[in-house]
Amino acid sequence: MTPDLPPSALRLDVDRQALAANWRALDALSGTARTGAAVKADAYGIGAKVAVPVLRDAGCHDFFVTYAHEAADILGLVPPHEISLLHGPINEGVAKWAHETGVRVVINSLEQAARWLAAGGGRCDLMVDTGINRLGLPLANLGDPMIARLEVDVLLSHLASADEDVALNPRQCARWEEARRVVPHLRASLANSAGIALGDAYHGDLTRPGLSLYGGVPRRELEGRIAQVARPMAAVMQVRNIEAGEGVGYNATFIAPHAMRIGVVALGYADGFLRCWSAGKGVLLRQGRRLPVLGRVSMDMVDVDLSGADEVREGDWLEVEYSLPQAAAFSGLSQYELLTLLGDRFAR
């Protein structure tokens, strides 16, 4: 018998109550529209198998993923018809798998429409490009006979700049409304997390937040409504005493100005704690006390100043300062990057 694996030196604490509360807050802001959830990229790094049951129990019935393997990970947690593949039937294998499982595909092009119909067709979603120029059917193709053969559940588009007050937002909204008049469909969806804050005109029948479910605040209107969900934790592997003049980490970018007590922590850029958090920026927390990073962040470890935490010993846990709006402003990373960079070595 293979022995059980020991606990990881990294863990991601997920506040399930905050996650559910964020969904309910976004649902309330969505007015009469139903509120779905983007759970792609392993629920933005939170862990789809952790997040989906919480969101389901809060009342969510529409889940958006990117690839078939992401849908497969949550089959059994929610009914297949509540899962949509945003990248659609990118090949015949995906079309066949989705048709057989009942997972909805999002059609993004005439080629994907043909592929879906060849696999047997059935209910699907349709993405219309209204100005972001990524995936999505051009407005000029909406009248194609191939599109008329589709059984469209959700007619989607995606906002390019919902986190900003720019003229593109109302232009995209108007184009989306134009598509709604042309293509028969059951429901229509435009707003992401930031789009929800733009108001009723953007809500349609279904909103599909992602970032704000997990603690992100892309617009001021959401401040005070969205709670922190993810708290990365890392164990102290070693406690050291160094003398004045000694260097810390690669290239000795930090030189101790006096004798110091430092901790070597199991956290590095392979875990998403990038070098932008090196000395002068990065901070770990111990029961609310800020412990500055010393020297450069390495692949698997980082050093911190334990001068303000005399009680810390090897094996103790430190928290990464990860309130997303503040961490983004501090690091220069986007709130999306902060979440999705969290590595697989975190036990969730």
| Number of domains the chain contains | 2
Tell whether the model's pLDDT for residue 1 goes beyond 90. Answer: no
Across 33-62, b (16+ Cβ under 10 Å) vs e yields bbbbbbbbbbbbbbbbeebbebbbebebeb
Class of residue 80 by CB neighbours under 10 A (exposed 0-12, middle 13-18, buried 19+): middle
Q: At what angle do helices 16-29 and 48-58 cross, to 10 degrees?
A: 50
pLDDT tens digit sequence for 97-118: 999 999 999 999 999 999 999 9
The answer to the question of residue 199 being in a domain is yes
Evaluate whether residue 126 is within a structural domain.
Answer: yes
Chosen domain end from 186, 219, 252: 219
Q: Is 67 a catalytic residue?
A: no
**Residue 249: inside a domain:** yes
How does pLDDT run across 199-255, given as a tens digit for each residue? 999 999 999 999 999 999 999 999 999 999 999 999 999 999 999 999 999 999 999
Same domain, 206 and 236: no
Q: Are residues 128 and 270 in the same domain?
A: no
Per residue in 51-83, pLDDT (tens digit) is: 999 999 999 999 999 999 999 999 999 999 999
Say if residue 40 is in the same domain as residue 91: yes
Q: Is residue 3 part of a domain?
A: no
Do 212 and 312 belong together in one domain?
no
Which residue is catalytic, options 40, 202, 269, 336?
Answer: 40
Residues 217 and 197: their CA atoms lie apart, in Å, by: 11
User: Quick one: 204 and 252 in the same domain?
Assistant: no
Give the H/E segment covering residue 51: helix 48-58
What CATH number has the domain bearing residue 22?
A: 3.20.20.10
* CATH code, 245: 2.40.37.10
Structural domain for 127, as ranges: 15-219
Q: Confirm if 128 and 156 have CB atoms less than 8 A apart.
A: yes
- At 305, is the secondary structure helix, strand, or coil? strand
- Catalytic residue flag (residue 336): no
The verdict on residue 297 lying in a domain is: yes
**9 found inside a domain:** no
Q: Are residues 167 and 256 in the same domain?
A: no
SS3 content of the chain, % helix, strand, coil (to 5): 35, 25, 45
Q: Answer yes or no: do 279 and 208 share one domain.
A: no
- Out of 49, 96, 202, 250, the active site residue is 250
Q: Are residues 173 and 34 both part of a single domain?
A: yes
Whether 54 maps to a domain, the answer reads yes
